[in-house]
Structure 1
Amino acid sequence: MSDLVQQIAAAANYIRKIWPATPEVGIILGSGLGNLAGDITDSKEIAYGDIPHFPVSTVEGHKGKLILGKMNGRNVVAMAGRFHFYEGLSMQQVTFPVRVMKALGVHTLLVSNAAGGMNRAFAVGDLMIIRDHINLQPEHPLRGPNIAELGPRFPDMSEPYSKALISKAKDIAAANNINVHTGVYVGVQGPTFETRAEYQYMHFIGGDAVGMSTVPEVIVAIHSGMKVFAMSVITDIGIREEENIITHEEVLEAANAAEPKLTLIFRELIKVL
Structure 2
Amino acid sequence: MFKLDPMQSYMMPAHFGPRYIGEKTSGWYRDVTAMTLSYRTDREKLAAYLPNNVTVAEDAIVSVFYACNKQVDWLAGRGYNMIGVTAAVVYQGEEGPIEGSYSLVIWENLTDPILSGRELQGIPKVYADIPEHSIDQGKWSCTASHFDSTIVDLSVSNLVAVDAEQVTASQKDNVDKDNPMGWRYLPALGGFGPEVVNEITTYPSENIFTEVSVGEGQIDWHQLTWEQNPTQFHIVNALADLPMLENLPAIVTKGSTNLMVPERWTRTLR
TM-score w.r.t. structure 1 length? Answer: 0.27
In terms of Rg, which structure is larger?
A: 2
Structure-2-length-normalised TM-score: 0.27
Task: Name whichever structure is richer in helix by fraction.
Answer: 1
